[in-house]
Amino acid sequence: MTKILSIQNAKTIKSIDHGYLTGIIYLKPDKNLCPNATKECLKHCLVNSGRGKFKKVKDARLNRTKLFKNNLDQFMSQLVNEIKSFIKKAKKKNLTPVIRLNGTSDIDYSKIINHKTKKNIFEYFNEIQFYDYTKNHKDLKRLNKISNYHLTYSFNERTTKSILIKVLKTNNVARINELHKYHVLNNNKYNQIDGDNHDLRFLDRSNSIINLKLKK
């Protein structure tokens, strides 16, 4: 059985130095799992970077994706059990457990309700900090109301100046240095943060631009 939650990968291992253990879900992205994906996004998708090039990793991501699409109840049930084990593992290491549900997807997990508990994953694990990147700027106002879910907006070629300014009033914005030279992002009224130092975006100062290098 393929595990859903990945731990201590290249993206999140730096979190340990800050006292956190990060669990992250990697799926095989498509237009349904990433409804706001752009041409630029598809071209430079993280799914093909680093260890994502290896067959074993690709197969695991495909298996998770098939389970999510074909048996969502089983997927979520397994995820809940894995998160419980993950929390125990983090505590044994004296680390704080945090979770990214969308490593290579952009799914709105707040809409997935457990038919037994009548809760979504954020409500079920309300003591856990969740965080993600998203291109879904239209739902930020609603999603920001989830107290234990932190979202960073991913700048892309569809991001207009008006969208950017509106988003920055409530959420930080991440950009890829090699791709995005947009002048508003360089405005000195915004904090500039090196996003490659660690992946813990919920620790970032508000009103910030998160600068990231293109992953290959």
| Per-residue model confidence as pLDDT tens digits over 95-145 | 999 999 999 999 999 999 998 889 999 999 999 999 999 999 999 999 999
Q: Domain locations in the chain?
A: 5-156
Greater confidence (66 vs 1) lies with 66
pLDDT at 76 over 80: yes
Q: Which residues of 41-77 are buried (b: 16+ CB within 10 A; e: fewer)?
A: beebeebeeeebeeeebbebbebbbebbeeeeeebbe
pLDDT at 157 over 70: yes
Output the pLDDT for position 43: 62
| Crossing angle of the two packed helices 55-70 and 72-92, in degrees rounded to 10 | 120
Which pLDDT band holds residue 35 (cuts at 50, 70, 90)? confident
For all residues of the chain together, what is the average pLDDT?
A: 88
Greater confidence (122 vs 15) lies with 122
pLDDT at 183 over 80: no
